Amino acid sequence: MKVAQLIHEIPRTSSFKRYGKVSRVVGMMIESRGPRTSIGDVCFIHLSERGDKIRAEVVGFNGEHVILMPYTSVRYIGPGCLVETTEKPLQVSVGKELIGQVLDSLGNPLDGSELSHYLPFVLTDQDPPNPLERPPIEQPIEVGVRTIDSLLTVGQGQRIGIFAGSGVGKSTLLGMIARNTKADINVIALVGERGREVREFIERDLGEEGLKRSVVVVATSDQPALLRMKAAYTATSIAEYFRDEGLSVMMMMDSVTRVAMAQREIGLAVGEPPTTKGYTPSVFASLPRLLERTGTNQHGSITAFYTVLVDGDDMNEPISDTVRGIIDGHIVLDRELANKGQYPAINVLKSVSRVMNHIVSERHKEAAEKLRSLMATYANSEDLINIGAYKRGSSAYIDEAIHYHPVIDAFLKQKTNEHPSFETSVTKLCELFVKGE
């Protein structure tokens, strides 16, 4: 910070500290009498018996009482513990030093190392860019997954959802994208993951090569709801910093559903009424605010992939429906395709990229439309074909779909260590029908 900025801050700096006292603890909710503070401010709760303090955040008010939720467990907190306000919301360190690091929700390295004290700080909760300052998406970005690059082309700065049930391969797909993408840097948020899965994702799916160009933010399922929610905000702030530095950022969040669940826990704790399927109104207010922060601005771009856990493979459950209405496209992973051994198990007919038609060539678009048409024709007649009720020659369209079906199946399959370039994927798509003759 420059000297002039420091001088400017002096009149706004308080010369005394404000304290309150804990009066009640219910579940993960802490209620205190005072101090004077605001929603989102970070407070320190002093544990008198242990001589240390923990951080908590102001999430609401009850009359003149302050409602806080801690970033750690509520153990050792009791009536009379002092509550000290910092009068500031949560901030995290940012900078190139973070690349290759695995961080917690508060931006601290999980391996116990310390970051430089000279790194700048950014707020975790920021406003989305002004809509008129968002440049239009005009060019595709390579993600290294043949089905996506050729049939669901993603633009640089696009936000797209990956909708899947559990165990259908979304983590593997994210790992492939992180390793193969041509973006300058990856920012990956793992929210509500099992502790076992975190290291497996980093070592197996992401790999050493992917970690070298990534920043990973982790909040496991055993951590408090506030910490799980903050992981998403911290990762987004880090991605925004690198975007403002002029870089092309690839952001991946697994999963938005668990962020919504964490927000629901917080909302219920502060007394919000449950609405659709138990989700509180704040969930549906916070999701667009979080998801709109990514995308393009006048400096750089954040291309974002958000995974959505589809409850019971129901694509119309509240969170899926809300997220699908906010983002710029969706990729559906199909359990039936996974059971048949097709990986990645992307259901092309149920997936769409809303910017693809504006960023690809006419030849590319026509080839993708023809492949979709053949797949749709085969899917509509598959039952008749499988039981032998269809006779060849009855329909030229169905005959063509049957002819190309094995060729298309082979095109859609891809090994996890395979890395086709964008140009190779598009060329193979355009030549597919010539080779299938």
Q: Residues 285, 171: one domain?
A: yes
Among the ranges given (54-63, 110-119, 310-319), the one the predictor scored with the smallest mean pLDDT: 310-319
Structural domain contains residue 436: no
437 in a structural domain: no
Looking at the structure, tell me whether residues 155 and 78 fall in a common domain.
Answer: no
Please state the rounded mean pLDDT for residues 125-148. Answer: 93
Per-residue pLDDT at 243 exceeds 80: yes
Domain for residue 328, yes or no? Answer: yes
Is 150 found in the same domain as 180? Answer: yes
- Asked whether residue 154 is assigned to any structural domain, the reply reads yes
Better-predicted residue by pLDDT, 153 or 13: 153
Q: Are residues 326 and 216 in the same domain?
A: yes
Burial of 267 (C-beta count, 10 Å sphere; 0-12/13-18/19+): buried
Tell whether 189 and 224 lie within a shared domain: yes
pLDDT in tens, 359-386: 999 999 999 999 999 999 999 988 888 8
Is the model's pLDDT at 1 over the cut of 70? no
Q: pLDDT-derived band of residue 424, with 50, 70 and 90 as boundaries? A: very high
Rounded average pLDDT over 236-240: 97
Domain boundary among the residues 295, 327, 356 is at 356
Q: Which amino acid is at 182?
A: K
Pick the residue with more confidence: 159 or 14?
159
- pLDDT of 235 above 70: yes
* H helix runs in 345-421, sequence order: 356-359, 362-386, 396-412
Name the residue range of residue 81's domain: 1-88
Q: Are the C-beta atoms of 189 and 360 separated by less than 8 Å? A: no
Residues 305 and 380 reside in one and the same domain: no
Q: Which of 335, 356, 377 is a domain's end point? A: 356
What CATH code is carried by the domain that includes residue 47? 2.40.10.170
Looking at the fold, whether 82 and 159 belong to one and the same domain comes out as no
**CATH classification of the domain holding 398:** 1.20.1270.330
Q: How many domains does the chain have?
A: 3
Q: How many whole angstroms separate alpha carbon 86 and alpha carbon 102?
A: 27
pLDDT of the residue at 15: 58
The model's confidence at residue 387, banded by pLDDT at 50, 70 and 90, is: confident
403 and 311 part of one domain: no
Residue 437 has pLDDT above 50, yes or no: no
Is the domain of 56 the same as that of 148? no
Assigned domain for 107 exists? yes
* Residue 4 pLDDT: 55
Buried b (16+ CB within 10 A) or exposed e, 300-323: bbbbbbbbbbbeebeeebbbbebb
Q: What is the pTM of this model?
A: 0.91
Lowest mean pLDDT segment, chosen from 68-77, 126-135, 297-306: 68-77
Residues 37 and 114 in one domain: no
Q: Is the pLDDT of residue 297 over 70?
A: yes
Q: Are residues 204 and 251 in the same domain?
A: yes
Of the pLDDT bands very low, low, confident and very high (cuts 50, 70, 90), residue 44 is: very high
Judge whether 159 lies within some domain: yes
Does the structure show a pLDDT above 90 at 271? no
User: Which of 44, 71, 88 is at the close of a domain?
Assistant: 88
Query: Is there a single domain that holds both residue 265 and residue 283?
Result: yes
How confident is the model over 110-132, as a mean pLDDT? 90
| Rounded Cα gap, residues 121 and 301, in angstroms | 20
